[in-house]
Amino acid sequence: MAKTPKFKNTKVQAWVDQWNKICTPEKIVVVTGTKEEHTAICEMMVKKGQFIKLDQKKRPGCYLARSHESDVARVEGRTFICSKNEIDAGPTNHWRDPVAMKKEMLRKYKGCMAGRTMYVIPFAMGPIGNPITQYGIEVTDSPYVVVNMNIMTRTGDAVMKHLDKGGDFVPCIHSVGAPLKKGQKDVAWPCAKKIDDKYITQFPEDGEIWSFGSGYGGNALLGKKCFALRIASKLAKDQGWMAEHMLILTLTSPEKKQYHVTAAFPSACGKTNLAMMLPKLPGWKLETIGDDIAWLKPGADGRLYAINPENGFFGVAPGTSQFSNPNALLSCRKNTIFTNVVLTPDGDIWWEDMGIDAPEEGVDWKGNPCYRCVDDKRRMGPKPGMTKKEVKELGYVAAHKNSRFTAPAVNCPVLDKAGFNGKFNGKPTGVPIDAILFGGRRPSTIPLVNEAKSWTHGVFMGSAAGSEVTAAVISDQIGQVRRDPMAMLPFFGYNVCDYFQHWLEMERTSVDPTKLPKIYFVNWFRKTAAGEFMWPGFGDNSRVLKWICDRIDGKVEANATAIGNLPYAKDISLENNDSEDPNFRVNEKFLQELVTVDVEGWKKEIATIGASYDEYDKKASKDTTVVNPAARRVPAALRGILAQVTAELGK
Ligand code: GTP
Ligand code: SPV
Ligand code: MN
């Protein structure tokens, strides 16, 4: 057995010692977080065939990994919230009894690191020393996780020093679940191959995270969804703050007025893109603070202040191009890890809709050869000489739809450095938020932008968010619209109804509710009957952000409708709307439609929102610990808005 190293923090000592005894690794390495250590681990993985080193002139410090076919995205069906009572996990989560779950998982962990190195990663969610920051220790047998955590979080000695002083932390255990027998050769992507052998388990009441069997993204980089959303959302509820699936951006108007905006869109629905967007509107400047997660705390003045707890971007690769998101492309020019994209013969990477020609030949995400299509330079197929149509019919993509880049935030050319470091006007408060956006991929009905009439109405809007399911999750429902309240459906650490109530409480307990951010619902994804996008999206979304700023400043009137305050089309600036390509230009006829209430569509929409509430209420009663099974848990205030909108639509 490996010898447990000595730690000053007794809780760290106990956590590492406990898992050393259970998992029986060959050796233990405590991650110090230096650049040399990071490179050495990457190079070790190259030697073992687990990383491909990319051309170091074109992509300095960059590597490519290919995952196992069973391990390409989050597994929601194997994600568990373990609270003593089922009601506290709520109707949207997979609940398990914590004692039974720990027993079941301990059997899995027994000897699971045999033949492997156990890494101890001290990490911080947020700038080290910031009062909002939280700390964690992830014990893992995956070097891939170590180097990704190095990018996505602040890791190493600086964090351990903080813990040495007795700082508290969230203990996390992760194993790929693939022990090695003596002399057994490792594979390129070790993991538990059967979905049912994977577990992504949160114990919000103990503040612990246990993950087993997967090495991919949010399943394995435990600081991200498991900690910064699931565990943190519960902490936030108990302590009066918010942990949200939101980007944070800083917008500066031509008059040099600054605004801070957060936006909650479901997975693969445009957070990274909006977070680093290049505004089409002349004179507007956008800077990035975060692209996925925001922690918001009420300040003494009643405003909500936000920090980004992360340190890098785990971004969706396909679709990222010079046109759609040049700043993301620049962010992954160096020190980036690519997973499941195409390898080109010159040691570079490629993916679908990267906006550049595919190489004539490459290696696809499964490690098989792929070839440029004969009739489309920007598509690849599994055999030489294929047409774009043939490839489409096969359903083949050369880069996996959920292939990703892990890029350091400091690489982002438009990073708001102060905001990213949790500072505003020199104080470590995070940035004051002016507007909160909700959104999703909705091909019909939902307007381009809709302003909430009140905080409660905004919470209603968030609760009713929904989207087509994307490839960010392993699911047989990709493309179908599902309700995804506040884009948090896969990430609630507790009961969704209590979460709605918590949002309402933020207003009730505010020292000055008039200072809370204004709330908006946006939709960049409306389509025509023929399936074409009606809004160009990307840089053109700055037109919507400007309207929001104008509303905040009281500069424009809005159309008060049954569903909320919509813009008058004339107030959406069409400056610089002269792209040659009609796809990248605002179509004024469509714009009019995008800001008009589709009454019939909304009647259906409202009915399904009501049905989702009924479903939450109904499922709650399954729990035998609930005294009154008929008790309704969806807050009455939200039911009130639902009734109000229903009545007004009927007028
Ligand atoms: P996660 O990292 O999974 O949380 O995703 P995300 O919300 O950060 O999504 P991201 O910005 O990576 O975008 C996902 C996909 O949506 C990409 O393929 C983008 O090209 C596409 N997309 C983003 N913004 C827009 C937009 O304004 N219009 C259209 N049509 N597509 C967009
Ligand atoms: C998401 O699915 O929302 C992501 C990717 O940001 S993962 O980290 O894998 O959850
Ligand atoms: Mn996300």
Q: Ligand 2 in contact with 292 (CB < 6 A)? A: yes
Average of per-residue pLDDT across 345-356: 98
Reported as a pLDDT band with limits 50, 70 and 90, residue 433 is very high
Contact 411, 326 (CB under 8 A): no
Atom of ligand 1 nearest to the CA of 525: 30
Q: Is 27 exposed, middle or buried (0-12, 13-18, 19+ CB in 10 A)?
A: exposed
Mind listing the pLDDT tens digit for each residue in 197-220?
999 999 999 999 999 999 999 999
Atom of ligand 2 nearest to the CA of 73: 9
Question: Which residues have a beta carbon within 5 Å of ligand 3, which is an ion?
Answer: 267, 292
Distance from Cα 245 to the centre of ligand 3, integer Å = 6
Tell me the chain's radius of gyration from C-alpha atoms: 24
Atom of ligand 2 nearest to the CA of 225: 10
Reported as a pLDDT band with limits 50, 70 and 90, residue 333 is very high
154, pLDDT greater than 70: yes
Q: Catalytic: which of 23, 269, 373, 549? A: 269
Nearest CA to ligand 1 atom 17: 319
Please tell me the distance from the alpha carbon of residue 41 to that of residue 364, in angstroms, as a whole number: 24
Nearest CA to ligand 1 atom 24: 270
Contact 31, 156 (CB under 8 A): yes
Reported as a pLDDT band with limits 50, 70 and 90, residue 487 is very high
Distance from Cα 193 to the centre of ligand 2, integer Å = 20
Beta bridge pairs of residue 350: 342
Mean of the per-residue pLDDT values of the chain:
96
Reported as a pLDDT band with limits 50, 70 and 90, residue 642 is very high
Q: Ligand 2 in contact with 472 (CB < 6 A)? A: yes
Distance from Cα 333 to the centre of ligand 2, integer Å = 21
Q: Is the pTM of this model over 0.85?
A: yes
Average of per-residue pLDDT across 84-98: 94
425, pLDDT greater than 90: yes
DSSP state of 496: H
Distance from Cα 267 to the centre of ligand 2, integer Å = 6
128, pLDDT greater than 70: yes
Reported as a pLDDT band with limits 50, 70 and 90, residue 625 is low
CA distances from 649 to 452, 592, 637 (A): 16, 19, 19
Q: Ligand 2 in contact with 401 (CB < 6 A)? A: no
% of the chain beyond a pLDDT of 70 = 98
> Which structure tokens are listed for 211?
């993950």
Distance from Cα 317 to the centre of ligand 1, integer Å = 10
CA 588 to mean position of chain CA atoms: 33
Nearest CA to ligand 1 atom 11: 270
> Which structure tokens are listed for 520?
């908006």
Residue count (the chain):
651
Name the residue of 316, 323, 442, 545 whose CB sits within 8 Å of the most ligand 1 atoms, as the mutation to test its pocket. 316
Per-residue HEC secondary structure of 372-404 comes to ECCCCCCCEECCCCCCHHHHHHHCCCCCCCCCE
Nearest CA to ligand 2 atom 10: 218
Contact 442, 481 (CB under 8 A): yes
Distance from Cα 271 to the centre of ligand 1, integer Å = 6
Name the residue of 267, 400, 475 whose CB sits within 8 Å of the most ligand 2 atoms, as the mutation to test its pocket. 267
H or E, element range at 648: helix 636-650
SS3 of residue 40 by DSSP: helix
Average of per-residue pLDDT across 291-310: 98
Ligand 1 pocket by Cβ (under 6 Å)? 265, 267-273, 291-292, 315-316, 318-319, 324, 472, 524-525, 533, 537-538, 541
Atom of ligand 1 nearest to the CA of 314: 2
Reported as a pLDDT band with limits 50, 70 and 90, residue 1 is confident
Distance from Cα 91 to the centre of ligand 3, integer Å = 21
Distance from Cα 36 to the centre of ligand 2, integer Å = 28
Atom of ligand 1 nearest to the CA of 270: 11
Ligand nearest to the CA of 247: 1
Q: Ligand 2 in contact with 142 (CB < 6 A)? A: no
Ligand nearest to the CA of 225: 2
Our separate counts of H helices and E strands in the chain read: 17, 33
pLDDT at 623: 60
Contact 135, 146 (CB under 8 A): no
Active site residue 269: yes
Q: Ligand 2 in contact with 74 (CB < 6 A)? A: yes
